[in-house]
Amino acid sequence: MTDIHLHYEVLDGDGPHIMMLHGMLSSRAQWDLNIAAIQKVARPVLVELLAHGRSQSPEDKDPYDPEYYVRTFEAIREKLGVERWFLCGQSFGAGLTLRYALRHPERIFAQVFTNSSSALAGEEYLKTYRSTAEQRAQLMEQGGMEGIKELPIFPGRARRLPIEARDALVRDAELLQPRGLAQTFRYSSPYLSVRAEAANTSVPTLLVRGAAEKRFQPNYEFAVANIPNLRVVEADAGHAVNIEAADIFNQAVTAWIKEHHHASDHN
């Protein structure tokens, strides 16, 4: 039996469940500007990564393995008594939701993901990342919370986010666990990419892309060329497209849920 170390909340909503998973150094607050719209068509299940938000920060390395995350998502689904649900992954979280859809397509109506370089990283990048993973982890352990605040991806350094959204993420960042983040750098990030398997994706997939993030461009081109029948909605936004262009994201995701939930009724 898979132990569930992840904190999750099931919100009220009208329709099927949708598991929503944020990215590195974020939390359930990632979705503050999206929840109300999505609740009109679905029931959000907000999951927080290990060492983030209200989730546990295990000492053992095993729960940080991306495949363990997949087993945990399945355990959550079973606990909820849900036969099929939708997925929505942001950044780091997208690497895990895309993997989950590859492993259990029969459990997924359809999925959504946003800009995620880690989910589609190439082998050369991963080799470099793996060679420095232990160094990054030790810096995290030694630097503690102050070290976390020095990271370029710390939410307090974000410049494109609405102030209320940024403040909510910064408040939740106080819950980050440096030791668990170090384990994430060791055992999650270097093995997160699903690039080698992307062409095997069999569930309907929507990418809501923040076109202003140039770093994501090569991986975006790879996704379009390799993920079967990928649909793309673009917004003039950066990495956190669901916050920076919340209206576009909300409209795209709610339409996607309605389309694919209704389609399942006729299959």
Number of domains in the chain: 1
pLDDT band at 159 (very low <50, low <70, confident <90, very high): confident
130-132-138-139 Cα dihedral, nearest 10 degrees: -130
pLDDT, tens digit, 9 for 90 and up, residues 182-210: 999 999 999 999 999 999 999 999 999 99
Q: What is the CATH number of the domain that holds 109?
A: 3.40.50.1820
The whole domain housing 57 covers 8-265
pLDDT band at 40 (very low <50, low <70, confident <90, very high): very high
Exposed e or buried b per residue across 35-49, where buried means at least 16 C-beta atoms within 10 angstroms of its C-beta: eebbbebbbbbbbbb
Pairwise CA distance, residues 226 & 229, whole Å? 9
Average pLDDT over residues 69-84: 97
pLDDT band at 266 (very low <50, low <70, confident <90, very high): low
Q: Please indicate, yes or no, if residue 1 is contained in any of the structural domains.
A: no
Mean pLDDT of the chain: 94
Pairwise CA distance, residues 26 & 158, whole Å? 12
Give the sign of the dihedral formed by CA 54, CA 159, CA 141, CA 91.
Answer: positive
Beta strands in the chain (DSSP E): 8-10, 17-21, 43-47, 85-89, 108-114, 205-210, 231-235
Q: Please indicate, yes or no, if residue 2 is contained in any of the structural domains.
A: no
pLDDT band at 265 (very low <50, low <70, confident <90, very high): low
Q: Is the pLDDT of residue 106 over 70?
A: yes
Give the sign of the dihedral formed by CA 76, CA 5, CA 143, CA 184.
Answer: negative
Query: What does the pLDDT read at residue 264?
Result: 65
Q: Which pTM value belongs to this model? A: 0.96
Q: Please indicate, yes or no, if residue 198 is contained in any of the structural domains.
A: yes
Q: Please indicate, yes or no, if residue 223 is contained in any of the structural domains.
A: yes
Give the sign of the dihedral formed by CA 93, CA 223, CA 87, CA 216.
Answer: positive
Pairwise CA distance, residues 49 & 7, whole Å? 8
Residue pointed to by tokens 């793996």? 130
pLDDT band at 113 (very low <50, low <70, confident <90, very high): very high
Query: What does the pLDDT read at residue 160?
Result: 87
Rounded to 5, what percent of the chain is helix, strand, coil?
50, 15, 35
Q: Is the pLDDT of residue 267 over 60?
A: no
